[in-house]
Structure 1
Amino acid sequence: MTTEKMIIEIKKWLMEAAGYIRVSLTNELTVSQKSGRTDLVTNIDEETQSFFIKKINQYYPNDRILAEEKGYDTIDSLTGRVWIIDPIDGTMNFVMEQENFCIMIAVFEEGIGQLGFIYDVMKDELYWGGKNRGVFLNEQKLAQPNDVSLSKGLLGMNAYMYGKNIHSAGEIGHASMGIRVSGCAGVELIAMLKGNHIGYISNLSPWDYAAGLVLLDEFGFKYSNIEGKPLTFTKREYFLAATPTAYAEILENFI
């Protein structure tokens, strides 16, 4: 199976899933709590993930899957080809706002990100790309954002980390031009790819960041856990991504 054919297939799956999600917003959602009242899952999260898993099992039966819902949320390693899926990133926004949520899919081979897709469903904007391919908005290739310093750019931020100054998040935010909080990792990563934000600090699971890492790599952004160590892809972690200059400033001056 060629990479080009895989890209075409994934785009087709994303459009089909998004169409279903948009229709679902006209119906009553089944909403459940996971770890607490602000950690939500809906029937649409689960049905969307099941749709992607069915497609992957049909076309790529030997591949493995790491995904947010229904027992797919752990994996022993990233050996072989692994699909990392967030069926609806920003479920709270999906339920409460009916916008500012994304579908995210990444394809990794032997631990290296090969393809990444972040789809803003309600804006019909697909940010995608792959290793040595560049980054695209729908079919338009994006220019690499400027390497802006911390003091001259906006930061995407986890609100709880900022408010409680976890890992100096509050101080880092004050050193920037300002913070923005969207409640959706995909939306925040898109802001970096567009050059609107210089970085993002949050507490994320692998499916929240995997697709974004593939695209951030293409633009030379730096990323790690908040202490500058490699992300593990095994648990929720404090996450840092930024322009090379801002990343170095954050680790040197605040961590």
Structure 2
Amino acid sequence: MIIEIKEWLAEAAGYIRVSLTNQLTVSQKSGRTDLVTNIDEEIQSFFIKKINQHYPNDRILAEEKGFNTIDSFAGRVWIIDPIDGTMNFVMEQENFCIMIAVYEEGVGQLGFIYDVMKEELYWGGKNYGVFLNERKLPQPKDVTLSEGLIGMNAYMYRKNIYSAGEIGHASMGIRVSGCAGVELIAMLKGNHIGYISNLSPWDYAAGLVLINEFGFKYSNIEGKPLAFDKREYFLAATPAAYTQIQEKFIQ
């Protein structure tokens, strides 16, 4: 399965890179900053076709075109974000990712985050560890909030939602990429100690499998398990920083 998924990701990423030389069809979903392109939809359809061909009994949860709800996590479920960071894809043509997760009976087994323009695949899961392409990554240090950078949702920081502004000020500084995959990669590399945002399941499913392998803590912002069925405020951090954030800032 891992080899198959890597091959699918490489093919999809190649198609995306070529598509950047062509005219994109861009539409709005909930508003002018919530975009979807023809490439998002084509890449999702590509993965769904592959899964249906090779694993016809599996369920699929994905961002676009009516796949954004699921009735059960029983059995094996694939969670797909065809282009995470669509605004970056459209406006910057970089800092976006493809994300795929495989869950069994509600437990994450495999996660893949592909930085398309850098051609860097972060992948791993239970009994595998975490890899960048074929290089196994070392365990990041358990750094406190005051010692590290933290990824942040810009709106949450600006409006101080759930004390996001105060948390940012207590850290060494915030970083805003506009892409959950990029932020989760920064945690895997040990560059950031945490990430606070407002995310849907396809934004975090793959990353959770990977950060879980490194012992990061994660939950909704109030410390409850993530629902996997709606957009919700999200917190992931080193154990030390997570505890500090929960005890000092989240009321």
- Specify the TM-score bucket, using the shorter chain as the normaliser: over 0.9
Shift of 1:203: 0.1
Partner Cα distance (2:87, 2:142) in 1: 32
Matched, 1:207 2:197: no
Q: Which runs of 5+ in 1 are unaligned?
A: 1-5
Partner SS state of residue 104, structure 1: strand
Per-residue CA deviations over 1:84-138 (Å, capped at 9, x if unaligned) read 0000000000000000000000000000000000000000000000112100000
- Whether 2:90 is the aligned partner of 1:58: answer no
1:101 aligned residue: 96
Tell whether 2:163 aligns with 1:171: no
Task: Please identify runs of 4+ aligned residues in structure 1 that moved more than 3 A.
Answer: none
Residue aligned with 2:82, SS: strand
What TM-score, normalized by structure 1, do the two folds share? Answer: 0.98
- SS of equivalent to 1:70: coil
Shift in Å, 1:52 = 0.0
Match of 1:3? none
Q: Mapping of 1:1-255 within 5 angstroms?
A: 6-255=1-250
Q: Give me the whole-angstrom Cα distance separating, in 2, the residues matched to 1:95 and 1:87.
A: 14
**Alignment partners' CA distance in 2, 1:133 and 1:152:** 29
SS, match of residue 174 in structure 2: strand
3-state SS, counterpart of residue 126 of structure 1 = strand
Letter in 1 for 2:176: V
Code of the aligned partner of 2:131: F
Q: Deviations over 1:144-164 (max 9, x none)?
A: 000000000000000000000
Give how far 1:77 is off: 2.2
Q: Distance in 2 between matches of 1:78 and 1:225?
A: 19
Distance (Å, rounded) in 2 between the aligned partners of 1:206 and 1:20: 25
Q: Distance in 1 between matches of 2:22 and 2:72?
A: 39
| Number of residue pairs matched by the alignment | 250
Identity %, equivalent residues: 88
Q: Which runs of 5+ in 2 are unaligned?
A: none
Q: Kindly state the Cα deviation for residue 76 of structure 1 after the two structures are TM-superposed.
A: 1.8
RMSD, aligned α-carbons: 0.3
